[in-house]
Amino acid sequence: MVKYKFNNEVSKFLDDLKSLGGLQIETLTPIEARKMSLMEMPTPEVELVVEIGADGPFGPIPIYNYTPLNAPKDKPLPTIVYFHGGGWVVGSRQGSDALCRYMANKSGYRVFSVEYRLAPEFKFPVPVEDCFTALDFINKNHDDLLVDKNKLVVAGDSAGANLATVVAIMARDKKDINLDKVVALVGGDHSTPLGLMKALSEKYDDYGVLHLDAHHDLRIAYEGFTYSHASIMYNAINEIPQISKLISIAIRDYCEDEMNIAKSSDKVETFYDREIKNRLFEGETWKSIVDEIISKLPQNVYLSFDIDGLDPFNCPTTGTPVAGGLSVDQVYYMLEKLALSGKKIISFDLTEVAPNSDNEWDANVGARMLYKMCGALVKSQSLKYLGDI
């Protein structure tokens, strides 16, 4: 069993749990877990917060409507429809209140926070239907709600990001909702992107995965859990036939079973961290290695980036740091070469970033990497983009 050293913020969180009487969240009922509120955040002032509601197939859906500070009066605003995280079991509008206020003020967008129904009382597809119904309601009532229906975005964190992905796919098929955007996933552990990759398979008949990570993530039902973060790539290549190639970069922590799977699969090709370093030490250039990596990818490329693919200097508080790894500049160079290669980046995920209040370094590096990944995606699709990736 791997032992982890927790950062100060997580340690405080665990201490707060103990102060409640030693209860562990896995021993609580869903109702008890939903009552826990341990992470207080400052609540920014916004221009206005109004509670509205949509009539859904399973009953009313409460929604908070946030108007950003200094918003122009009686003018439609670009809009974010936000779905909170919580593993589909916990989480609420109240728990995401500070975040939604912050997003509204920083972006200048109107933000709607949706109170979708939770499991286990309401199983799939109820949360999905709630979220889509809320989006549809906001779109249909855009005039009354002062929403610019041509600048409509869905977003979420963790389970909410999964819901946003599914809702975006549903909206694509409903012609009067204009979500002509590229969906990407940010946050959570590395198990979360599987749903996004499956959704992409409905649009693309063939695509490859460029996987940057310290780990192979080819475990079969790691610790008995089929859809764990350590099994994401095994599940992807076995459950999504549209994935024709998996190119894994900077891998340096894996078991014998994973290595055997990688070697035996026609889909998988690995650039192990030690092999990359040996080639560089012996005089080969990073350019030649990157050119080789890109040449092995199909035309459509999905980027899957677990932040621990970087040298731990750049992500010291991620959950599973491993010595070695890529530098930030090496990743920047790879992204730029991929963006200019003529191949199309269809989407991406960035996971396992673990910012905390005591050390902003992880957040700083993660934010810069996210910016570069967005830039690479936009440039590869020849979309309008101001700035240099």
Q: Is 227 a member of any domain?
A: yes
Q: How many CB atoms lie within 10 A of CB 248?
A: 24
Residue-wise pLDDT tens digits, 296-319:
999 999 999 999 999 999 988 888
Query: Does residue 370 share a domain with residue 264?
Result: yes
Q: Tell me what the pLDDT averaged over the chain comes to.
A: 89
Query: Does residue 223 share a domain with residue 371?
Result: yes
Q: What is the 3-state secondary structure (H, E, C) of 258-304?
A: HHHHHHHCCCEEEEEHHHHHHHHHCCCCHHHHHHHHHHCCCCEEEEE
Average pLDDT value for residue range 77-82: 94
Query: Does residue 54 share a domain with residue 31?
Result: no
Number of domains in the chain: 3
- pLDDT band at residue 378, thresholds of 50, 70 and 90? confident
Count of helix runs (H) and strand runs (E) in the chain: 13, 11
Task: Confirm if 80 and 110 have CB atoms less than 8 A apart.
Answer: yes
Query: Does residue 228 share a domain with residue 369?
Result: yes
Query: Does residue 307 share a domain with residue 204?
Result: yes
Helix (H) or strand (E) run with residue 98 in it: helix 97-107
- 186, amino acid identity: V
Residue-wise pLDDT tens digits, 208-264:
999 999 999 999 988 888 999 999 999 999 999 999 999 999 999 999 999 999 999
Chain CA centroid to CA 52, Å:
28
Q: Report the candidate in 316, 327, 312 with the shortest Cα–Cα distance to residue 369.
A: 327
| CATH number, position 165 | 3.40.50.1820
Q: Which domain holds residue 13?
A: 1-38
Query: Does residue 206 share a domain with residue 157?
Result: no
Query: Does residue 146 share a domain with residue 76?
Result: yes
Q: Which residues pair with 76 in a beta bridge?
A: none
What are the DSSP calls for 299-321, one per residue? SEEEEEEEGGGB-GGG-TTSSS-
Q: Dihedral of the CA atoms 286, 287, 290, 294 (nearest 10)?
A: 180
Average pLDDT value for residue range 77-99: 92
Phi, psi of 373 (to 5 degrees): -65, -40
Query: Does residue 345 share a domain with residue 301?
Result: yes
Least confident of 38-47, 64-73, 190-199, 346-355: 38-47
